[in-house]
């Protein structure tokens, strides 16, 4: 099976470099991650400093009654407070404290306030076949496809170089419900990826929203493996289908490269592929019109006979055939 070969091959290549993360999330300027400070740093969250002279009041007394949340074996908590009532005063410092090899879900709890530290983050790897971030959530296990990403990026100006993003969940069988498994979700503006790999099957690369640039990347999947409503440019990228081989003589189409989510003609979004290549197994469409005004362009690109002669699928809605 192509799925078994894919997983065993890539785990052997990455066995010395694979990083297992339960959650890697970079969100807006007011989001944080937290690793049980009391255990990590030996401090209690509710520090009583900054107390005004002659007053019983303290600015550190405004924590909600349900904080800290109950600790479990699967949750670590880090606390951020701009007034110094926690172990961290900035979101970035809490992010820096998250254990790289932590097997526990990390919550960054952020107290009320505006945090003016913008996370401009770069992931620098040593080659997409040598360095990877992987996890195995699915739409079923994470309450929806959008939340199944091994990595989720919501902040602007994210950059990745020479690294892979993988979802190694078992590949869903045809007709299975809830088997979609995202390797990375990109929902921040002005993200860029150079020499990166994206490995999965259905819904590998969630190019959700924002302006994104991909160059010299390898993208692997089977069904809608580049999807979303991004405004993105793909240059010199290689797309490889791992859909099941189609027996000779059968008119079966069992996959698609793209599924763009443009809902109206007023939306300024679309996928553009220039000087790219498409190969692999199965017989797949260039794209399925996920939304009424899906917009995808392939230019100056090479395609093997893995691409069905029909090219595109309108999801049984002729009005999307434009």
Task: State the catalytic residues.
Answer: 224
Edge to edge, the sheet with strand 296-299 lists 122-124, 159-161, 191-194, 211-215, 231-235, 270-274, 296-299
Q: Count CB atoms within 10 A of the CB of residue 138.
A: 21
List the helix and strand counts (H, then E) for the chain.
3, 25
Taking the C-alpha atoms of residue 241 and residue 285, their distance in angstroms, rounded to an integer, is 10
Is 2 in a helix, a strand, or coil? helix
Instruction: List, as one string, the DSSP characters of 20-85.
Output: E-S--EE--TT-B----HHHHTS--S----SPPTT-S--GGG---TT-SPPPBTTEEEEEE-TTSS
What are the φ/ψ torsions at residue 25 (nearest 5 degrees)? -130, 130
Query: Which residues are CB-neighbours of 155 under 8 A, at least 6 positions away?
Result: 26, 27, 28, 29, 118, 119, 120, 121, 188
């Amino acid at each position: 099976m192509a799925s078994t070969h894919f997983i065993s091959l890539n785990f052997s290549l990455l066995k010395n470099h694979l990083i297992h993360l339960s959650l890697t999330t970079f969100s807006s300027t007011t989001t944080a991650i937290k690793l049980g400070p009391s255990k990590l740093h030996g401090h209690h969250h509710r520090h009583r400093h900054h107390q005004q002279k002659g007053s019983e009041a303290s600015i550190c007394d405004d924590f909600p009654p349900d904080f800290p949340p109950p600790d479990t074996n699967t949750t670590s908590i880090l606390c951020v407070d701009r007034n110094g009532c926690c172990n961290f005063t900035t979101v970035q410092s809490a992010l820096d404290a998250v254990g790289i090899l932590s097997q526990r879900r990390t919550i960054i709890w952020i107290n009320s306030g505006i945090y003016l530290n913008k996370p401009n983050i770069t992931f620098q790897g040593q080659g997409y076949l040598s360095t990877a971030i992987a996890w195995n959530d699915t739409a079923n296990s994470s309450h929806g496809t959008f939340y199944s990403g091994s990595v989720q990026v919501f902040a602007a100006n994210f950059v990745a170089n020479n690294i892979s993003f993988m979802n190694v969940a078992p590949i869903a069988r045809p007709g299975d419900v809830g088997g979609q498994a995202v390797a990375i979700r990109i929902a921040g503006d002005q993200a860029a990826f150079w020499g990166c790999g994206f490995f999965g099957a259905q819904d590998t690369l969630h190019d959700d929203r924002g302006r994104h640039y991909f160059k010299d990347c390898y993208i692997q999947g089977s069904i809608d493996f580049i999807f979303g409503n991004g405004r993105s440019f793909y240059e010199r990228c290689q797309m490889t289908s791992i859909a099941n081989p189609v027996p000779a003589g059968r008119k079966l189409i069992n996959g698609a490269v793209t599924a763009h989510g443009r809902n109206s003609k007023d939306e300024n979004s679309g996928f553009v592929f220039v000087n790219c290549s498409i190969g692999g197994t199965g017989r797949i469409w260039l794209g399925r019109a996920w939304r009424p005004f899906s917009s995808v362009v392939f230019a100056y690109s090479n395609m093997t006979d893995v691409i069905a002669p029909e090219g595109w699928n309108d999801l049984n809605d002729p009005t999307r055939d434009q």
